[in-house]
Structure 1
Amino acid sequence: MTLKSTTRIFLAAALASVSLAAVADYPDKPVRVIVPFAPGGTTDIIARVVADQIQVSLGQPMIVENRGGAGGMLGATEIARSQADGYTVGIATVSTTAAVPSLNPKTPYDPTVDFTSIINIAATPNVLAVHPSFPAKDFKAFLQLVKANPGKYSFASSGAGGIGHLQMELFKSITNTFITHIPYRGAGPALTDTIAGQVPIIFDNLPSALPFIKDNRLLALAVAAPNRLPMLPNVPTFKELGLEPVNRMAYYGLHGPKNLPRPVVAKLHASVKKTLENPATRKRIEETGSIVIGNTPEQFAAETKAEYAVYKRVVEQQKLKLD
């Protein structure tokens, strides 16, 4: 063995030792949690509830940073391009890991290979809602009205390619209706304009819309959920209405860039899992209308791949393109 090869082996062993030590000490500084949407939406709510608690078990601050734009693509891209050391992770949503990349051919990441899945935190129903001034007050009347007036009404979403956008496009294709899409930079701004009456219709995640529904500032017409929800017992599911393909819930999980060290994944997973077992945390999440999940990294990886395949087919079948 030459001196040069011996030196290379020694350096490799030294680097591996340093790397293992760094992983063992993880985390020894604050961890960034990127939320790929503006403040105020469901993604932001879930992220902050969990981050506030897991920083206790990790012993380091979990700093939530909002990076909204392009239906969540900008924030997701930042997560994907981060160093794989566990100090930048983020919230994975159906929009960022399925809907947006299935619609936008310029998405700078592949959701099936460019992330490391950690845990699915919660699943949330989606809701079709209108401003109280909207002429139709139930789903049957709503459908009749939009069918009779193609292009007259518009709907708000968290952004082009977001889950609210694609679910409404799926709804439109099934019901043969035409409702104009108004994209926003996140669910928060979309909700603000819908509540103000600037846009009459929204397809949004229930947790962010629910407070305004309870305050009668939005009227819920239908929900995407397995069954009717206790907090909205009079609102039918899309399955009940004969629109089962639209009856899909959204997920909110934690993931990081690809090649995240397994010990880091295990530590983050264990911290989130422990947090989700806390009755107070579960109550806070469930009060938003979400269902706590807390599955394994492997199960969450399989979920994201399956959801991406579903929306890829929707985009192809409906021939959807970015405006």
Structure 2
Amino acid sequence: MPFMAQAQSFPQKQIRLIVPFAPGGSTDIIARAIADPLGKVLGQPVIVENKAGAGGSIGALDIMRGSKDGHVIGMATVSTTASNPAINKKIGYDPIKDFQAITNIAATPNVIAVHSKFAAKDYKSFLELIKKNPGKYSYSTSGAGGIGHLQTELFKSLTGAQINHVPYRGAGPALVDTVSGKVPIIFDNLPSAYPFIKDGRLLPLVVAAPKRLSSLPHVPTFAEVGLAPVNRMAYYGLIGPAGMSKEVVEKIHAGVLKVLQDASVRKRIEDTGSLIVANNPEQFAAEIKAEYDIYRDVVAKQGLTLN
């Protein structure tokens, strides 16, 4: 069938929107914020399917193996398309060759925060403390190979700091142990850490964001403290399997842009602490490649493995 005919006849049935994580997290919230209105725009239901496991790779593999006619799409995160593939040689997919980028829907700031009773209360004193005491302190993340892990390793490679990684099975348990003081430092997405920051149980030291956040006006960005390469937000985008027609990709992309004009949809996404991006397929593909390249370099430089 010619591409134009494919686009005109698409969609012919409901569309599967695969979320490679469990319900309730930022990825799931953003997917559900756009799913129902996108279905109305496209004329067929968009059904969210959560396919969690293996740091998001199970769901990512499901997207890769989906039909190429646009009826299977999925959510892409830095973990599934950059950091995990960079460290896991057996992941089973190539994030550049095996997926079609559609749009980066939104991006979320990341934050280094410490337990409220940690000796250092600002970024400068934090860096001085951990560098004076190599190997003494540990940091928690949502899991090995995730964005928090590799972004902290990038931070370590640039500063020369030596802190030990304590991986957890998700941000929730990592936060619990950091808030309790079991692990003093955490690198996390801001939305999940923010409630603990707001009530004073975690102290934010530095954020990955384009500029200082209105919610944390006294916290510098990584760019401000001389670590521009670490100033990378977590993206939540839409992808499909490689081989989709350009016309179908453009139809889905246009539908998402229309959905994001709705103030209620935007608010639902922004309430997670995310910033709307809504770029084009080429721009999102370039973002994915840039993230993948930088984390492959981090893995090589730091000698990281999943063992």
Q: Do both proteins adopt the same fold according to a TM-score greater than 0.5, normalized to the shorter chain?
A: yes
| Range with greater deviation from structure 2 (76-85 or 162-171) | 76-85
| Contact in 2 for aligned 1:33/1:64 (Cα 8 Å) | yes
Structure 1 counterpart of 2:75, from 76, 91, 95: 91
Aligned position for 2:246: 262
1:198, CA displacement in angstroms?
Answer: 4.3
CA contact (8 A) 1:38 1:188 kept: no
Asked if 1:56 corresponds to 2:40, the answer is: yes
1:231 aligned residue: 215
- For residue 297 of structure 1, what is the aligned residue in structure 2? 281
Structure 2 residue corresponding to 1:243, chosen from 223, 227, 234: 227
* Superposed counterparts of 1:164-203, under 5 Å: 164-203=148-187
> Per-residue CA shift, 1:161-210, capped at 9, x if unaligned?
21111110111222222222222333344334434544332211223322
| Shift of residue 278, structure 1, vs aligned partner | 1.6
Distance across 2 between alignment mates of 1:49 and 1:199: 34
Normalised to the residue count of structure 2, the TM-score between the two structures is: 0.89
- Are the structure 2 counterparts of residues 215 and 309 from structure 1 closer, same or farther at C-alpha, using a change threshold of 3 Å? same
Q: Which amino acid aligns with 1:131?
A: H
Counterpart AA for 2:162:
F
Number of residue pairs aligned between Structure 1 and Structure 2: 307
Q: Is the 8 A contact 1:114 1:258 kept in 2?
A: yes
What's the counterpart of residue 121 of structure 1?
105
Counterparts of 2:277 and 2:119, CA distance in 1:
38
Instruction: Kindly state the Cα deviation for residue 132 of structure 1 after the two structures are TM-superposed.
Output: 2.4
Within 2, Cα distance between the matches of 1:227 and 1:235?
10
Deviation of 1:255 (Å): 0.2
Matched, 1:281 2:265: yes
Query: 1:31-51 CA deviation, whole Å, 9 max, x = no partner?
Result: 222222333433223222222
Further displaced range: 277-286 or 145-154 = 145-154
Q: Would the alpha carbon gap of residues 63 and 262 (structure 1) be closer, same or farther in structure 2, given more than 3 Å must change?
A: same
Instruction: Please list every run of 5 or more consecutive structure 1 residues that lacks an aligned counterpart in the other structure.
Output: 1-15
SS in 2 for 1:248: coil
- The structure with more radius of gyration: 1
- Residue 20 of structure 1 deviates from its aligned partner by 8.1
Q: Distance in 1 between matches of 2:176 and 2:112?
A: 15
Find 1:136's aligned residue among 120, 125, 130: 120
| CA 1:280–1:118: 2 relative to 1, 3 Å | same
Identify the match of residue 130 of structure 2 among 139, 146, 161: 146
Partner SS, residue 90 of structure 1: strand
Matched, 1:206 2:198: no
Alpha carbons of structure 1 residues 264 and 139: separation in structure 2 relative to 1, 3 Å? same
- Report % sequence identity: 63
Where does residue 68 of structure 1 map in the other structure?
Answer: 52
1:232-273 CA distances to partner (integer Å, 9 max, x unpaired)?
101111122222221122221100111123333222212211
CA distance in 2, matches of 1:82, 1:184: 30
Q: Secondary structure of 1:222's partner?
A: strand
- Name structure 2 gaps, 5 residues minimum: none
Residue 32 in 1 paired to residue 16 in 2? yes
CA–CA distance in structure 2, aligned partners of residues 186 and 81 of structure 1: 26
How far apart, CA to CA, are the structure 2 residues paired with 1:276 and 1:197? 40
Distance 1:196 1:306 in 2: 36
Using the alignment, how far apart are the partners of 1:211 and 1:30 within structure 2?
A: 37
Aligned to 1:218: 202
Q: Is the 8 A contact 1:70 1:160 kept in 2?
A: no
The CA deviation string for residues 138-182 of structure 1, in whole angstroms up to 9 with x for no partner, is 223322332344333322222222111111011122222222222
